[in-house]
Amino acid sequence: MNNKITIAIDGFSSTGKSTIAKLIANKYNYIYVDSGAMYRAVTLFAKNNNFVSKAFLNIEELVNNLENITLSFNFNKEFGFAEMFLNGVNVENEIRTLEVSQLVSKVAAISEVRKKLVAEQQKMGVNGGVVMDGRDIGTVVFPKADLKLFMTASADKRATRRYKELLDRGDNVSFDEILFNVQERDRIDSTRKDSPLIKADDAIEFDNSDMGITEQFDRICALVDRKFS
């Protein structure tokens, strides 16, 4: 494709946004940006420096140290996708743990954190040809995106997917704590004052509670192709 577009994929946690975004990016040879990984990396930094835990959040200290955070995506040829690097260190596995999942929504609600990451995300997509997923891509990061999707599914279905994913990784977790985490992240993401999770007016909603990856991929590809017909 000569005229590359910008594709924004928003939605609730564990709806498979990253999975479908990677597939779309690979098909059209677009840049894929996992904005959630960026917030998770900042959360990991905050956790490692004792700025955040389940019991507390030291916003002032984290904000004062934002200038000490450098984020980058480095493509892993073996796995076929870009991995998250925090201050030059690969943290792809560390940011996917339940512990980080339980803290990320609190960190992502901090206005200064969002301002820093939104600016970086906008730079990544300035020339189009990008697929970016997150919570506010179609509403804040790329409000003029050529194609906006909003992914949703029932909390039970999302928790089941996440539970299986973590078990396959070897994590020792229970379904109940995963379900609680999904519901709590929904609550925090949807009610935060700065850039809450909402469906953009011009976004196409995808409820994939009972939809497989292949069906989602085919439907979204048809929408992308329609932009060039």
CATH number of the domain enclosing 140? 3.40.50.300
Q: Classify residue 195: in a domain, yes or no.
A: yes
163-201 pLDDT per residue, tens: 999 999 898 999 999 999 999 999 999 998 888 999 999
Beta strands at 6-11 and 31-34: parallel, antiparallel or unpaired: unpaired
How many other CB atoms are there within 10 angstroms of residue 209's CB atom?
13
Q: Classify residue 225: in a domain, yes or no.
A: no
109-127 pLDDT per residue, tens: 999 999 999 999 999 888 8
Q: Classify residue 193: in a domain, yes or no.
A: yes
pLDDT of the residue at 75: 77
Q: Which residue has the tokens 């490692």?
A: 48
Q: Classify residue 145: in a domain, yes or no.
A: yes
pLDDT at 1 > cutoff 60: no
Q: Classify residue 182: in a domain, yes or no.
A: yes
How many separate domains does the chain show?
A: 1
Q: Classify residue 226: in a domain, yes or no.
A: no
Bridge-partner residues for 85, per DSSP? 72, 90
In terms of residue numbers, what domain contains 105? 6-220
Report the predicted TM-score, pTM, of the whole model to 2 decimal places. Answer: 0.84
Q: Classify residue 228: in a domain, yes or no.
A: no
Q: Classify residue 16: in a domain, yes or no.
A: yes
